[in-house]
Amino acid sequence: MRVFLPLFPLGIVAFPEEQVNLHIFEPRYRELIGECRDFGNTFGISPYLSGKLMDIGTEMSLEKIVKVYREGEMDIITQGQRRYKIIRFTKVVDQKLYSGAEVEFINDRNELASWTLKEEVVHLLDEFSGILQVEKNLHNGIQTFKAYMAGHYIGLSPSQEYQLLSIDQEEERLLFIKEHLRRTLPRISNLHEIKKRIMMNGHFRELQSPGF
């Protein structure tokens, strides 16, 4: 089923079930978030990478407005819901300031991934965090671990994060993370840069949306 979804294009990838903290300052997105607050609407974060709006994005719900500033800027907490694919993009929605798109939600099948594969990935994550001395726990145990949980914390580039977001099956997502970690672990050289990227996640980020 196709629906129309307000869009917040950003130079980041948001994953389903992920909490994303944002600082909202542009008038068009203050309007969008105001409507989410007043009417319970959701919106989409569509990655804008290398000068291009990507087809796959994540529907987000507004969980909490943490702070409203004097000029109307906001610190908000959002939560990833479902993935979607853009069918038709609208640069400026009629009588609104923000963009939108006709989208089709992707049916994420909750198929069971190989237990052995999950064990391998969790072991590699423990090794990775140990080398980097990362305090954040990169998983919550094998039983409930999902590939998306590690997406922002293993040094993936934005394009690699988008590649992970675009994979439809959990087994394939776990294989993607496993291969990345197996390539990365023997040759981690720039520890400071990777750790800096990891520690950025969770803060309220003032991200400039692209001007279409």
**DSSP E strands, 46-170:** 48-49, 52-53, 56-68, 74-90, 99-105
Rounded distance, CA 206 to CA 57, Å?
A: 19
For the segment 120-144, what is each residue's pLDDT rounded down to a tens digit? 999 999 888 888 777 667 777 788 8
Residue 16, strand partner residues: none
Residue ranges, CATH 2.30.130.40, the chain: 2-108
Structural tokens at position 36: 């989410």
Give the pTM.
0.85
User: What is residue 193's predicted lDDT score, i.e. its pLDDT?
Assistant: 64
User: What is residue 182's predicted lDDT score, i.e. its pLDDT?
Assistant: 93
Cα angle 106, 108, 114; round to 5: 150
Please tell me the CATH superfamily of domain 2-108, with its number: LON domain-like (2.30.130.40)
User: What is residue 204's predicted lDDT score, i.e. its pLDDT?
Assistant: 65
Asked whether the predicted pLDDT for residue 55 surpasses 80, the reply is yes
User: What is residue 187's predicted lDDT score, i.e. its pLDDT?
Assistant: 75
Rounded distance, CA 114 to CA 137, Å?
A: 22
Asked whether the predicted pLDDT for residue 203 surpasses 80, the reply is no
- Considering only residues 134 and 78, tell me which one the structure prediction assigns the higher pLDDT: 78
Asked whether the predicted pLDDT for residue 189 surpasses 60, the reply is no
Average pLDDT over residues 20-28: 96
Residue of 89, 63, 91 whose CA lies nearest to 77: 63
Structural tokens at position 34: 């105001």
